[in-house]
Amino acid sequence: MKIILGNSHPQSLFAQRIEALSRQKLFACYQCGKCSSGCPMAESMDLLPNRVIREAQLNNGPVIMSCRAVWFCSSCFACAVRCPKGIDIARIMEAVRTLQMLDGKPITEQPFCEDTGTLPQIALISHFRKFNM
Partner 1 sequence: MTRLGVFICHCGKNIARTVNIEALREKAATLPHVVLAKDYLYLCSKPGQTMIADDIREHRLDKVLIAACSPRLHGKTFAQTAQRAGLNPYLLDMANIREHCSWVHIDGAEGTEKAFSIIKGGLGRLLYAEPLEPFQSPVTKRVLVIGGGVAGIQATLDIANSGYEVYLVEKSPSLGGHMAQLGETFPTLDCSSCILTPKMVEVSQNEHVHLLSYSEVTRIEGNIGQFQVTVRLRPRYVDETLCTGCGDCVPTCPVVVSNEFDQGLGARKAVYLPFPQAVPAVYTIDWDACLNTDKLIICENCYKDCEAKAINFLMEPQEKMVEVGAVVLATGYELMPVARIGEYGGDEYEDVIDGLQFERMLSASGPTGGVVRRPSDGRIPQNVVFVQCAGSRDPEHGIPYCSKVCCMYTAKHALLYKHAVPDGQVYVFYIDIRAAGKGHEEFVQKVMSEERILYLRGKVSKIFKSGAKLVVWGADTLSGRQVEIEADLVVLAMAVIPSSGSQKLARTLHIASDLSGFFSEAHPKLRPLESNTDGIFLAGAAQFAKDITDTVSQATGAAGKALSLLANDFIKLEPTISEVEEGICRGCGLCVSICPFGAVKMLPSTRTGAMVAGINPILCKGCGLCTAGCLSGAVTLKGSSFKQIFAQLEEMV
Applying CB under 8 A, which residues contact partner 1? Answer: 1-12, 15, 25-28, 30-31, 51, 54-55, 57-58, 60, 85
Closest CA to 119 of 80, 76, 68: 76
Shortest distance, CB of residue 127 to partner 1, whole angstroms? 29
Output 46 or 127, the one with its CB closest to partner 1. 46
Look up residue 103 and give its amino acid.
D
Region for 6 from its dihedrals, namely left if φ exceeds 0, alpha if ψ lies in -120 to 50, beta otherwise = left
Of 52 and 93, which CB lies nearer to partner 1 in the complex structure? 52
- The residue (of 31 and 116) whose beta carbon lies closer to partner 1 is 31
Q: What is the distance between the alpha carbons of residues 111 and 127, in angstroms, rounded to a whole number?
A: 11
